Structures are given as C-alpha cells and as structure tokens.
Copies of this chain bind each other. A is one copy, B any other.
C-alpha cells in the first residue's frame, strides 16, 4: 500500500511518523497550506476542487500531466468535491465529482464516509474543522475514517488545529494539521494559547515569551495597523501551535500523552467530551494502548477510571485470572508504595498472618484499579500508578471498585470473606456484601495497622485456619501461572508452568525451568513474563499472541510486511510468539495485531529470541 508514510513510535492512537516525500514531513505536523503548490516549500499539491475547476479534472489525462510536472515524491491531493460532514451521504454520492481516478506516486484523498476509499498515503477528513465543538460527531467522523483506511496512512484534519486542541486531536489519531485557524484567528485579533483564546483588546499583557511577543508590547500591538498587527499575531499563533506540537511529540516519546490530555482537555468542554466519548467506546483506543509503559500511570482525574489500561486490567482479572484453590478470601486496602507487599502496612499484614498466611487468598482493593490479586501486584499497571492522595473516594470510585469486587465474587466462591479494611474500603465491602447477599467478616474498626486491628486479624484467620486442613504454602508456581494467564490468556499458565516445572531465583526474579531448560522469566519491572524460544515453542499451540511469518529467519526485528497473520488481541508492548516455516521465536510487539497484518511499512516486532526450525 503506502510507500510514503511510516509510523515510527506509538502512544496509544497517537503516533510519531514521517511522510516520505521530496522533503520528509515528520508527523504529527502542521503544514502551511498557503504554500501548497510551491513544492519547494511544501511537497504537496492539490489537483483541485471540482467546484472550482469543473469537469476537465475528471480526465485522467489532466492528472497525468500534473504528475509529470512534479515528481512521484510530491503528494498530489486527488481531485475532490468537498462537502461539510453533515451533508447526507446520499447527496454526496450523487454529486458530479463521483469518479474514479488514480495516479502513481504519493497521493492524498479527501475522505467522505460511504464513498469508496482510494489508495492513498494521506487521507483528509472532509469537513474536519466544521465539527469543532461537536464532540460526538467529530469522534464518529474520525473513527469512521480510521476504520476505513489502512493503519499506515496519515490523517489530515483541515482547518481545526489550535494550541488548545492539538493534543487531543493527536491523541485520537490525527497526524497532519494546518495553520489556517492560527492565521484566521490572528487577523481576527485573537491571541491563542494552549490554555485558550484571548481577544487582544481584552488583555493587558502578553502571556507568552516567543519572538513575536517579545518584539512588541501589548499596548503597541493594539495601536498598530491591522496588517502589521496581523503579522505579529499570526507569528505568535503559529509559534504557539509549533510549541504545543513539540510538547505533544515529547509527551508521545515519554508515553505520557494520555496524562497530558486529561488535563489539557479542560480548556474547552468539547475536548473533555471527546475524552469521555472516546473512553466510552470499548475498542477505538484500547486496541492501540500499550500493555506496559516505562512511566508511571498517573490517575489524576475522574476520567482516569475509564482509561484503557484500567478497564483492560479489570477485564483480564475477571476473565483470564484463576485464583488459587483457597476458601478464605482476605480483602486488604492498597498502599501508596508499590508493589503493595513492600509497603509498611502490607509488611505488617504479612508479619501478622505469619504461618496462617497460606490459608488465605489475598485481594487488594484499590482505586482506580478495582481489585488486584496478590499474584498480580507486580503486573502493569498494578505497581505503576500514582494518584492524588486526599484520603477520600468519590462515588464513581466506590461504584467502580464495588463492581469489580462483585463481579469477582460472583465468579469465584469462598466459604469465608474477611476484610481488613476501613473507610471507603469498608464502604465498598458493605455494598458488595449487600449486593451479593453474603457476609463479610471485618477485622478492624479504624486504623488497619493498629496493634488491636492486627490482633483481631490474626485471631480471625487463626480461628478459621483451625477448622481447615493445612493447604500448600503459597506456591511460586501459582504466582507464575497467574501472571501467565493474565498475560497470554487462560490456560497459558498450565502450559508454561506445569507441576514439574522448577522455579529458580528469588522473588520477584523467578525463572521457570522445565527439564533443565529455561522457559520464562518474570520481569519485575513490568510484572510480566519474558519467554525463551523454548517457552514460545510450548505456547504457540495455545494459539494466543501468535504472529505467523513466512519462510525466513528473522533477525533483530520483524517488519510489518513480513507478517502473514497476527492475533487480533496483540497490543503494543505485548510479548508475542513468532511462528514461521523456518523459525520460531519471541519478541515485543510495537503495534497491535491488526496493525501488523494491515501495515506495509514499519517495525512490527523487536525480537528477543529466534530459533531455526
């Protein structure tokens, strides 16, 4: 498909890439659309609007002539007859400009939902800027576009970019923008900042230190003639866009765009609505959200509860995780220090339980993650989140954690549920108990680490233990199986960690050996398993997270075109199993499974181990 666009780095739907043209454009980028046609300045030309040029551009000959004038490396925007988004599809599909026309080299197409998608390197979201302030329509339009076009093509949203909305638009997957709003705002005396717009005549100082702003005082600026004032304001507005763009790119590089967007979207209600609407959609963002990050997850807004990592963690605990066979459940509060078991409070709980610990299954209640089984406390994002500490849970947090607990307890039965909790945690337990019609034994009234509370905890578990046969100690095997199931789906644990497997090295650096051959290692930083080639070989028949390649032996990395099939559940950051005619192996996915299958450029997987077969 495309030879002219490549994605180099991803952070969810956002991406860093480049348009490979006579001069490369690093994306996300803002183009000076005024320069269009002047290929020295901008390697893009527009074959023109049917509205303007009439019928003659229908002819392929015209387009061929245009292509002869410019090199294959200049992107030609194919002839278009533009409508705003709201014009009914039927009207658009009956319009004159509905013709089939193609050219070699780099092309851009204006995308209208329902119209046939042409092979292009760049797609223009028709009427994009017209949907500002209409979050629902904008999201539907962008999602509709992204679903129709190949992953490895760029998306241009015209006449919309402002410093205030750029981060959100990039977060949702747009790549190319223009300075049109910046320029038009300037000549309307509107001074743009990333925290909103100011009418020049309403401000008394310039809240910026760019070249344009330091060249003049606000009072002088107000007194200037319109042309010169416009020039300075335009320069400032463009600087602000550029500066915001650089910032967003840095946030993508850090893997921190979501956090930025959660704050930045407060400049305009429609941007906040976009964040929420995109989160309500179950798939759009999740498919490309990474399963591990090198940075902390900062859960700093009510919307953090709905971010893909959080809902995905809860979903996997519910559907992939199998608890060990114990019939006493102990609910514990979370701790600021992660993993929880290294915290002061959990150390005290563990010390208190002592030899009785093996009788209980431990589940930690926490906002925003919901519930974290002890075995998964290392696994991203369970050990990687940071919150605003106020000691208060709001209604949404209580509801969310309660739902997680209720779901878990509906599926997993215990003869006794003990809760060593206070405050909001207790409220959650009460609500869950009421919903399920079960009893929960509470072991403290207020301070969970007070001597009295710990005493009650110990006595309670001790008494329960007396009635029971002594279970096996909390096994390293169970821990590793739980993580394997979480990571690769139910059943993976039993394959990778059979009863005769040997677990070496102390927690948390466990290694799994089978017949003296290493299978997997627990990577403490992410709490996930890293497989050996032998591990991959064992797990491939399980048929999850498998990437099928052709008859070559890959080295270092696998490019997208080398991939024949990829499991749709693969997410960036996942450990994936490579299965080919001549090799098997294991590596880290840089893109989602669907993207691997559909892309024609870019590194899909960085390899860790390969074995010729």
Contacts and interface: CB of A to CB of B under 8 A. Distances in A.
A65 interface: no
A281 to B, nearest CB: 12
B392 A395 contact: no
Contacts of A209: 209-211, 239-240, 242-243
A398 interface: yes
* Interface range for A: 35 or more
Given A209-B239, A390-B277, A395-B398, A263 B260 contact: no
Interface stretch (A224-232, A295-303, A558-566): A295-303
A207 B269 contact: no
A597 B301 CA distance: 39
A130 B322 CA distance: 46
Contacts of A270: 388-389
Interface stretch (A37-45, A195-203, A546-554): A195-203
Given A208-B243, A396-B396, A267 B272 contact: no
B253 A269 contact: no
Given A209-B239, A264-B195, A280 B398 contact: no
Number of copies of this chain that the complex holds: 2
A34 interface: no
Contacts of A277: 390
A135 interface: yes
Nearest to A265: B263
B301 A388 contact: no
A358 to B, nearest CB: 36
A453 to B, nearest CB: 23
**A198, A240, A389 — most chain B CB neighbours (10 Å):** A389
Contacts of A247: 193, 195, 207
B246 A206 contact: yes
A259 interface: yes
A249 interface: yes
Interface in A215-247: 239-240, 242-244, 246-247
Given A273-B388, A390-B273, A390-B276, A250 B396 contact: no
Nearest to A238: B209
A500 interface: no
A156 B206 CA distance: 24
A100 interface: no
A205 interface: yes
Contacts of A271: 388
A207 B387 contact: no
A262 interface: yes
A463 B249 CA distance: 64
Given A210-B214, A265-B300, 6 more contacts: A136-B389, A204-B250, A208-B243, A269-B300, A301-B301, A301-B302
A46 interface: no
Contacts of A193: 247
A205 B250 contact: yes
A118 interface: no
A399 interface: yes
14 contacts: A136-B389, A196-B260, A198-B250, A202-B254, A204-B253, A207-B244, A207-B250, A209-B240, A262-B266, A263-B264, A263-B266, A263-B267, A269-B388, A276-B390
Nearest to A305: B394
Nearest to A262: B266
Interface of A: 135-136, 193-196, 198, 202-211, 214, 239-240, 242-244, 246-247, 249-251, 253-254, 259-260, 262-267, 269-273, 276-277, 280, 298, 300-302, 386-390, 392, 394-396, 398-399
Given A193-B247, A243-B209, A302 B390 contact: no
Nearest to A248: B207
Contacts of A207: 243-244, 246-247, 249-250
Contacts of A301: 266, 272, 301-302
A135 B388 contact: yes
B387 A246 contact: no
A27 to B, nearest CB: 14
B298 A269 contact: yes
Contacts of A249: 204-205, 207
B211 A389 contact: no
Contacts of A254: 202
B276 A266 contact: no
A79 B418 CA distance: 58
Given A247-B207, A250-B207, A269 B239 contact: no
Given A263-B266, A266-B300, A135 B250 contact: no
Given A135-B388, A202-B254, A214-B211, A272 B300 contact: yes
Contacts of A262: 266
A425 to B, nearest CB: 17
B210 A269 contact: no
A593 B136 CA distance: 45
Contacts of A259: 266
A276 B301 CA distance: 11
A215 B485 CA distance: 53
Nearest to A133: B389
A606 to B, nearest CB: 20
Contacts of A240: 209
A375 to B, nearest CB: 27
